[in-house]
Amino acid sequence: MSEYIPSPRDWVREQVELYESSGGKEGTTLRETGLPVIIVTNTGNKTGALRKTPLMKAVDGSNYILVASTGGAPKHPVWYFNLKANPSVKIQDGSDIYDMNVKEITDSDERKRLWEIAVDAYPPYHEYQQKTTRVIPIFLAEPAS
């Protein structure tokens, strides 16, 4: 089992700790928005250590849509590169934990469909895309077989 390295960002580290220590009963929304989040546990592409990231909950059936927005920043979040290198993740949704495999969605029709679901779940994604010249990546997390 790999070592867990908490996020250097206080709010991320604190939210992950609260989410996990409460068994998924607390820390389940993004700060003041009240909108639900999931915790994605992934493997660092350089360190090989476990990393945990709260992401907005957007679902497509039994699959999760993971949006690498970083609030519209000019660069992809670090976890984007982790998922590209190591597509096996765990997703905690409340008290439920799932083994999932992720793939980046580049097909324009499928990406557009998933993007619309994600924006419905978290409307600021629309503004984030307008703030940056990069195309914000979307991953689809599917149950591991």
Domain range enclosing 73 = 10-143
- In this predicted structure, the answer to whether residue 1 has a pLDDT above a threshold of 80 is no
Q: Which helix (H) or strand (E) holds 84?
A: helix 78-85
**Does the residue 5 lie in any domain?**
no
Q: Does residue 4 lie within any of the structural domains?
A: no
| CATH number of 80's domain | 2.30.110.10
Assign 2 a pLDDT band (cuts: 50, 70, 90). confident
Q: pLDDT per residue over 62-119, tens digit each?
A: 999 999 999 999 999 999 999 999 999 999 999 999 999 999 999 999 999 999 999 9
What domain count does the chain have? 1
In a domain, 2, yes or no: no
Other CB atoms within 10 Å distance of the CB of residue 58:
23
Minimal CA–CA distance to 102: which of 136, 64, 140? 140
Instruction: Find how far residue 66's CA is from the centre of its chain.
Output: 5
pLDDT value of position 145: 82
Q: Is 11 helix (H, G, I), strand (E, B) or coil?
A: helix
- Give the integer Cα–Cα distance in Å for 122 and 37: 10
Q: How many angstroms separate the CA atoms of 98 and 40, rounded?
A: 10
CA-based torsion, 137, 132, 50, 20: positive or negative: negative
Would you say how long the chain is, in residues? 145
| Amino acid letter, residue 124 | P
E strand residue ranges, 22-137: 37-43, 50-56, 59-60, 63-67, 88-93, 96-104
92 lies in a domain? yes
The terminus-to-terminus CA distance of the chain in angstroms comes to: 21
Say if 114 falls within a structural domain: yes
Percent of the chain with pLDDT over 70: 99
Residue 21: which H helix or E strand, with range?
helix 10-21
- Would you say residue 19 lies in a domain? yes
